[in-house]
Structure 1
Amino acid sequence: MKTHKLISALAMTVSTTALFVAAANPAFAQDSAPQDAAAEEATGLDAIIVTGTRRTDRTVADSTVPVDIISADALLNSGQTETNKLLNQLVPSFNFPQPSLTDGTDSLRPATLRGLAPDQVLVLINGKRRHQSALVNLNGSVGRGSTAVDLNTIPPLAIERLEVLRDGAASQYGSDAIAGVINVQLKKGMGGRAQATFGKYITKMEDVGQVDTVALTTTNLTINPATNAITGGDNPAITYTGEDRKRRDGDTYTFASNFGLPLGQSGYVNLTAEYKDRSPTNRSGPDIRRNYFAAGDPREATFNRYAHRYGDGVSKDLNFFVNAGYEFSDTAEFYTFGSYGVRDGNGAGFYRRSADARNRDFAASTTAFVPIYADGFLPLIASKIVDISAAAGLRGTTGGWDYDLSAVYGSNRLDYTIENTVNTSLGGIASARRFDSGGLRSGQTSINLDMRRDLDIGIGKSVSFAFGGEYRNENYKIVAGELQSYVNGPFSAAPFNAAGGAQVFPGFRPANETDVSRDSFAGYAEVDADLTDQLTLQLAGRYEHFSDFGDTINGKAAARYEVIDGVALRGSVSTGFRAPSLAQQSYAATSTNNVGGVLIEIGTFPVSSPVAIALGAQPLKPEKSVNLGAGVTFTPISGLSITADYYNIQINDRITLTENLQGTDVLALLTSAGVTGVSSARFFINGIDTKTTGLDIVASYRVPEFGLGQFRVSVGYNLNDTKITDRRVFSGFTAQRLFARQESYRLTDGQPKNKLNVGLDWDYDNFGMTLRTNRYGEVFLPSGFTTVTGTNPTSDITKAPGTVPGDIFLSPKWVTDLEFRFKPVESVSVAFGANNLLDTYPDRLPFGTVNGVNYGFNNAFLPYSSQSPFGFSGRFVYGRVSIDF
């Protein structure tokens, strides 16, 4: 609590100081205005791009591959202050679901590009590789099994512009750039802005009823003395008010300031500070199950039926960014940039009811049911994430060559504290209620040398030649938690069979601890030539050697041909790769998962462990891709641009996390290896080959002024389809058992197959408006439930969508955002608006027995799918005050 107060005070001090500077220096505010206009122009067709080419004069209009530029204004004209959510609004092929009840993923949510995995898109800051997070997404979310870059550590106010390269670029940048590249260009101009934003959700949960009365239970639960299993009993009868549940929550305060200062006569330093405080949201429906053991317990009528917390967790973020440079001469400039971020968050697990076996105090009685928490408990996963990055370099010209020598370090640290919980196997008296469950560490150091020059070889109008090399070192660690967080206590053995470790997230064990590193060396060459006024050709090749799996060579060819003035064709072919992350090779843990409505303990084992090897695991190989692209660009009139690009991405040896392998054979192997308290195992494999095809259409139009101000219209459309083309089998495990129907369709159909976004920006004197609407296409949720007759075809990978009882299709939805702005004085801007203005929700999930399918009761209190591409929080209303200086 003291830490949060200190952070709040610090953020308020930064913002207040900036506001004071702005008020005291009106001339300074006037000086910054021309730069804003220049930044706006820099996002048009004539904008120079620095992503996808190493030429210094390539524009958006002349690029051989599709590159989108997103301006600072587009990022700031919204109530969202998370960079991932903003990209979800602005880029049609970008997807950012917001899952809940997924352990650490609640605090560090992954995003995807072109329907591929979060770790198949490369993120750059000022053209330099950004480090990945330490978190491995394991539990039931899009991007399961991947690690990702945490874009939400980057304050929108620090960004000058974003360049999104929608094409394979591994031959230019190395591992991960299969789906494309997101390059974040930081601000370096003078002047600045301070702003404060407040918003909250004001919403009505669609098709989720408000409880009116609850009747008492009438029959007893029973305990089997041989197994201690709890069975029988009835659920209370519940009546509803007839009104949907209303929520007023998720209060979010964001204070941010950015300012740039001159550094002598030839330098600059630009600083950004942001503090964000987000309260939790709760979109749970009523829990219609009984809570108490004894029949007729009067507390059943007054118990809070919304005791689950399903939605956004608590998040308190503090992020600093610096971007600086100094030009010593016409031929040498020193530059540096870096960041420091800390996030204190927590997410909730499943509510353990009073009568839940996981809440039973065996130390109090081994025959009668005695609860540890009288009313049950909601376990919380508190996470502290510390993210650090620092870069420095020297660039300039020498002997006719442009050079850039740089070093970049980045690290991400994630520590878990499990609160309001218990280690049931120790008994209620002996067990703590708060546990240090250990944590994860990842680090990356890169050293790059890039050389470029223009060549006069008698071919073409202009030829740019670049070459360079990279050394990269990566490190990954797992740190064990305290003893009580993972230990199997005396009541874990038969006949009690109590779950060991901290409920919801058992701590990392000493046997899970790891400290692994690897090195890689790379060399590349690139030619980018304007052969004629109409024809541009780009060639690139890259060799890379990794200390853990060897060599890879990749290449790319791309071309653009202007058929007539304003109409051009472009295409590309490239190979690519993604190295298996150290986390995928080395991660080991035990966690509690909800599988088909049942909580089970699952062990995740590294591929080098005896358990994984006995199950058939092999050393991971890099994923390999072939990318094909073809497109057309139209610029028929001034201010209008239309591009359409087809893509075909084939990935071999794609790395996946196996299913939760269960059965007597798996249990026997776990027991023989001394692994107790775990009933299921999983590990990473090069499990599948996939093919992703799609179409991106992007159009923008700056309407000529006609007396009512400036209008800018943008339209983006993405059509995407992913298929699994091959599957691996080994050691007696069938393809179906290794990667079954639910995970297969989560990968291929768990994201929208189409997405449309439309934006309108209007500015007139001191007034402005931004209107955005996104249509998210259908999402498929494969059945995980059984029919009334008990048959269970839900794991059969041969069953097409919609052919298994219990299959669910989330219908397409429109989500609209609206913001109004006005300037009472020149340097002050006031904005108010709403994200998800029309309060749109994903479809309500069925529960109980519907049309012969038993969906269980979990969907009663988890009413919306975590795979909803726009979340499930409802309308967010906000206001913002900004001061330019």
Structure 2
Amino acid sequence: MKPRACVLASAIVVALSPFTALAQSSPNTLDTVIVTGTRVSDRTVAESASPIDIISPEALTATGTTELATALSRAVPSLNFPRPAITDGTDAVRPVQLRGLAPDQVLVLVNGKRYHTTALVNLNGSQGRGSSPADLNTIPIAAVERIEVLRDGAAAQYGSDAIAGVINVVLKGSGTGGSIAGRYGQYSAGDGEQYQLSGDAGIRLGENGAIHFAAQAGHQDQTDRAKPYNGVVEQRYGDPEIDQGAVSYNGEYSPADYLTFYSYAMASRREVLSNGYFRWDTDNRNRPQIYPDGFLPQIYNVSKDVSWVGGFKATTEGGLNIDMSYNYGQNNLRFEVRNSLNNSMGLDSPTRFYAGTLEVTQNVLNADFSKALDVGMAYPLALAFGLEWRGEKFNESPGDPASYINGGVPSANGSFLPGAQVFAGFKPSDSGHYDRHSYSAYVDLEADVSDKFTVGLAGRYEDYSDFGDTANGKLSLRYAFTDKVALRATASTGFRAPSLQQQYFQSIATNFIDGVPYEIGTFRTDNPAAVALGAEPLKAEESTNYSVGLVLQPVDSLYVTVDAYRIDIDDRIVLSENLTSTAVRNYLQANGYAGIGGGRYFTNAVDTRTTGVDAVGTYRWALASGPLELTGGYNYNKTEIEHIAENPAALEAIDPTAVRIGRTEIGRITKGSPRDKFFLGATWSPGAWRFNATTTRWGEFTSYGTTPATDQTYDAKWTLDLAATWTLQKWSFTLGGDNVLNEYPDEQLAGKGTRTYLPYSTSSPFGFNGAFVYANIDYKW
């Protein structure tokens, strides 16, 4: 660690040394009534049987970022949000990890309703390879009232995906107040300029209703941390160029005391321009007549996202609470290629291509009921039950012919290089329209058996049209020894249904092996070539989740929680290695699969065990000059491979030496995300000023190569974020800096990769852009 970072970090540690617990929520959130992880109407954060964090909008906007996922990664110790580069569509839709698990193993809710996933399948070498999670950055920060992060398995309560936990985004719904804010920032390297305008406003709907609107729009320039190669810097390596806008509303109307209608909607559009690998002028893939100096191919993505929820809540004379709702969500992701060419078309090749579109749609009908029952105990028994129908669709549309055809013109060395370079378009044979539906029923019981003892029991049954049914349960316990000490524990089973993207996405491109063209790519599990290589229909992942923790409030201003957990996942869905050995190619060619040279497919081949501990807490110190809030958080997390399934008989018969799950993927699962994460922060508010300081230690991670000689472990790094805000009546003026000490991850060592001019790992949990300075002006009413 740099000496100046050491001094500053040590100073903060000394200041906070009396408070060994660490946290990310403000003390005044302990009495916040939560809606995640419980169906009791008046359960607070401090009373929760599961670990849960409340992230305020002030905490989200206290960083220089305009991305919701990035802000959360700085506020939740167990959340990881790396910034991959040169990873095709993953540059545009970056995945979030909770407790080191796959991005699609965390469920995202908005106002307690299931949020739809992205259409993208993360196929390249990023964390979350093979996943299609929800995209948090489609939700405008200006619309957020708070975020509840449940760090516990919750599939028995909410259904598929809630293995690692739940992120519930609660939208602003007040009929009064509002704000408008402008933000500008830039990296100290002189690039990555960002600006954003955002605002929100509440409007009363007579005496019985309210609606709250929010909007934001902004721009981000590219960053570039590539080094010279052949004496020049032609490659770009960093964040993409982004233009994004989003709008939302959240409202309700109560024509009677017992009836409330509600609705919310969000819509966003994100345009992202990212980079591939530079083709030099003498590269066999180039046509010097088109690009005399070589070319840098780029991918242009347009992500359009919409969601709408509408429903009503009613209470009968008998005290039965009813909640009926309809939930619609869709993500449309368009791929275009720019500054490229289809070499096989010769000089007739265009330089821009439409490469195809991916789209997912979700429709959900919910009927939820709850009632407090007097069963003779000291307190009523909270009963909740409900039904859900969910319909899902996945569409893959082909690109224009020039994006994928073989034009028949050989390259300089006589080979044929068909398709738009950097991203060959989806072929008509790849395209398709797929759907499924599921039914589920749940029951949830929760009771304060006494003043000290709380018990919760939940069960859920789901039946899917494509792979079968599953039943899951959860037991939650909390015992308060005193008002200051409580013990809590949970045990649950869970599942994650294979996504339609994992089942049906297909992208086949022509590759050359020993000068011979073969169709190689990501195959659907029912593709005959994939079946020949051992692919089987996907089934649901199954999990068991155990946690035990302490809740400590030794004094009124100090709140401490320590929670240990273990998550076992069987039949984890992963993407196989490329199976392209000579034996595989010979078999496919001899058995009617002309031109097919192998590929990869999704498989339930891995069992994992994740263990760890979260420590969170906060302390508020009332100083004469103004309150000082000390916050922090720590997470230790370790994932191990418990079992890898043997090669299927079909693949074993073709090539006994085939490796279906290779060491690179094993390393990505077990050591690709930081082993631990630790942050300390302080907010001091003297008079009209507010000063924020947070130092974060990002733990070490390891990048695995194809052999141990190419592995590299990247050391832990410290970053420091500072901000100062001056308030004048309704105006606030902020000047701040993220990573002000300009810290970078370790550089890639010689011999650890083939492109040393790309010096940093894309798995770095804090990116590799250096210091960022920003200014913000905010007006609230």
Shorter-normalised TM range: over 0.9
Whole-angstrom CA distance in 2 between matches of 1:735 and 1:653:
23
Which residue among 397, 408, 411 is the counterpart of 2:330? 411
1:401 matched to which residue of 2? 320
Q: Which runs of structure 2 are paired with 1:808-819 in the superposition (5 Å)?
A: 808-819=712-723
Deviation at 1:121, TM superposition (A): 0.2
8 Å Cα contact 1:590-1:678 kept in structure 2: no
Q: Which runs of structure 2 are paired with 1:416-495 in the superposition (5 Å)?
A: 416-427=335-346, 429-491=347-409
Deviation at 1:157, TM superposition (A): 1.5
2:764 matched to which residue of 1? 868
Aligned partner of residue 512 in structure 1, secondary structure: coil
Equivalent residue letter for 1:118: P
Whole-angstrom CA distance in 2 between matches of 1:170 and 1:591:
37
Deviation at 1:419, TM superposition (A): 0.5
Q: Does 1:858 align with 2:775?
A: no
Q: Which runs of structure 2 are paired with 1:586-665 in the superposition (5 Å)?
A: 586-590=504-508, 602-665=520-583
8 Å Cα contact 2:710-2:753 kept in structure 1: no
Deviation at 1:498, TM superposition (A): 2.5
Deviation at 1:491, TM superposition (A): 3.2
Aligned partner of residue 121 in structure 2, secondary structure: coil
Equivalent residue letter for 1:419: R
2:159 matched to which residue of 1? 174
Equivalent residue letter for 2:641: I
Q: CA distance change for structure 1 residues 856 and 49 in 2, over 3 Å: closer, same or farther?
A: closer
1:94 matched to which residue of 2? 79
Q: Does 1:779 align with 2:701?
A: yes
Deviation at 1:496, TM superposition (A): 2.0
1:201 matched to which residue of 2? 187
- Using structure 2 for the length normalisation, give the TM-score: 0.93
Deviation at 1:815, TM superposition (A): 1.3
Equivalent residue letter for 1:818: L
8 Å Cα contact 1:269-1:325 kept in structure 2: yes
Whole-angstrom CA distance in 1 between matches of 2:75 and 2:593:
47
Q: CA distance change for structure 1 residues 882 and 600 in 2, over 3 Å: closer, same or farther?
A: farther
Whole-angstrom CA distance in 1 between matches of 2:656 and 2:780:
62
Q: CA distance change for structure 1 residues 65 and 615 in 2, over 3 Å: closer, same or farther?
A: same
2:745 matched to which residue of 1? 842
1:337 matched to which residue of 2? 264
Deviations 1:641-688 (A, max 9, x none): 100001100000000000122211333456568878875511100010
The percent identity for this pair of structures is 43
Whole-angstrom CA distance in 1 between matches of 2:549 and 2:26:
25
Deviation at 1:268, TM superposition (A): 0.7
Deviation at 1:706, TM superposition (A): 2.4
Aligned partner of residue 747 in structure 2, secondary structure: coil
Q: Does 1:708 align with 2:605?
A: no
Q: Does 1:310 align with 2:237?
A: yes
Deviation at 1:461, TM superposition (A): 1.9
Equivalent residue letter for 2:319: G
8 Å Cα contact 2:529-2:598 kept in structure 1: no
Q: CA distance change for structure 1 residues 493 and 834 in 2, over 3 Å: closer, same or farther?
A: closer
Q: Does 1:726 align with 2:660?
A: no
8 Å Cα contact 2:279-2:296 kept in structure 1: yes
Whole-angstrom CA distance in 2 between matches of 1:870 and 1:670:
44
Equivalent residue letter for 2:745: P
8 Å Cα contact 2:37-2:150 kept in structure 1: yes
Which residue among 239, 259, 281 is the counterpart of 1:354? 281
8 Å Cα contact 1:176-1:577 kept in structure 2: yes
1:64 matched to which residue of 2? 49
Whole-angstrom CA distance in 2 between matches of 1:646 and 1:122:
20
Greater C-alpha radius of gyration: 1
Q: Does 1:877 align with 2:778?
A: no
Q: Does 1:756 align with 2:678?
A: yes
Deviation at 1:856, TM superposition (A): 5.5
8 Å Cα contact 1:500-1:677 kept in structure 2: no
2:479 matched to which residue of 1? 561
Q: Does 1:152 align with 2:48?
A: no
Whole-angstrom CA distance in 2 between matches of 1:694 and 1:742:
23
Q: CA distance change for structure 1 residues 856 and 812 in 2, over 3 Å: closer, same or farther?
A: closer
8 Å Cα contact 1:358-1:498 kept in structure 2: no
Deviations 1:697-747 (A, max 9, x none): 0011111x2211111111110000000101112121669711111110111
Aligned partner of residue 90 in structure 1, secondary structure: coil
Equivalent residue letter for 2:563: D
Q: CA distance change for structure 1 residues 406 and 697 in 2, over 3 Å: closer, same or farther?
A: same
Pairwise CA RMSD: 2.0
Whole-angstrom CA distance in 1 between matches of 2:519 and 2:626:
61
1:49 matched to which residue of 2? 34
Whole-angstrom CA distance in 2 between matches of 1:748 and 1:664:
30
Equivalent residue letter for 1:280: Q
Deviations 1:604-649 (A, max 9, x none): 1000111111111000000000001111110011021100001100
Whole-angstrom CA distance in 2 between matches of 1:561 and 1:174:
27
Q: CA distance change for structure 1 residues 41 and 713 in 2, over 3 Å: closer, same or farther?
A: closer
Q: Does 1:273 align with 2:215?
A: yes
8 Å Cα contact 1:72-1:159 kept in structure 2: yes
Q: After superposing the two structures, state which structure 1 stretch, 662-671 or 634-643, moved more.
A: 662-671
Deviations 1:218-270 (A, max 9, x none): xxxxxxxxxxxxxxxxxxxxxxxxxxxxx310000111011111111111110
Deviations 1:381-415 (A, max 9, x none): 00011000000010121131111111110000001
Whole-angstrom CA distance in 1 between matches of 2:195 and 2:624:
37
Stretches of structure 1 that go unaligned for 5 or more consecutive residues are 1-39, 203-246, 289-300, 362-369, 785-793, 795-803, 848-853
Q: CA distance change for structure 1 residues 807 and 539 in 2, over 3 Å: closer, same or farther?
A: same
Aligned partner of residue 191 in structure 2, secondary structure: strand
8 Å Cα contact 1:601-1:677 kept in structure 2: yes
Aligned partner of residue 152 in structure 1, secondary structure: helix
Which residue among 85, 100, 103 is the counterpart of 2:70? 85
8 Å Cα contact 1:325-1:335 kept in structure 2: yes
Deviation at 1:495, TM superposition (A): 7.2
Q: Does 1:134 align with 2:52?
A: no
Q: CA distance change for structure 1 residues 855 and 467 in 2, over 3 Å: closer, same or farther?
A: closer
2:21 matched to which residue of 1? none
Aligned partner of residue 545 in structure 2, secondary structure: strand
8 Å Cα contact 1:666-1:681 kept in structure 2: no
Q: Does 1:263 align with 2:263?
A: no
Whole-angstrom CA distance in 1 between matches of 2:34 and 2:310:
22
8 Å Cα contact 1:653-1:688 kept in structure 2: yes
Deviation at 1:320, TM superposition (A): 0.5
Whole-angstrom CA distance in 1 between matches of 2:678 and 2:559:
17
Equivalent residue letter for 1:537: V
Whole-angstrom CA distance in 1 between matches of 2:208 and 2:510:
57
8 Å Cα contact 1:657-1:682 kept in structure 2: yes
Deviation at 1:807, TM superposition (A): 2.0
Aligned partner of residue 249 in structure 1, secondary structure: coil
Q: CA distance change for structure 1 residues 43 and 734 in 2, over 3 Å: closer, same or farther?
A: farther
1:832 matched to which residue of 2? 735
8 Å Cα contact 2:418-2:510 kept in structure 1: no
Stretches of structure 2 that go unaligned for 5 or more consecutive residues are 1-24
8 Å Cα contact 1:423-1:499 kept in structure 2: yes
Equivalent residue letter for 1:413: N
Equivalent residue letter for 2:737: A
Q: Does 1:579 align with 2:475?
A: no
Deviation at 1:765, TM superposition (A): 1.9
Deviations 1:268-322 (A, max 9, x none): 110111001001111111113xxxxxxxxxxxx7xxx211111011110010111
Q: CA distance change for structure 1 residues 678 and 817 in 2, over 3 Å: closer, same or farther?
A: farther
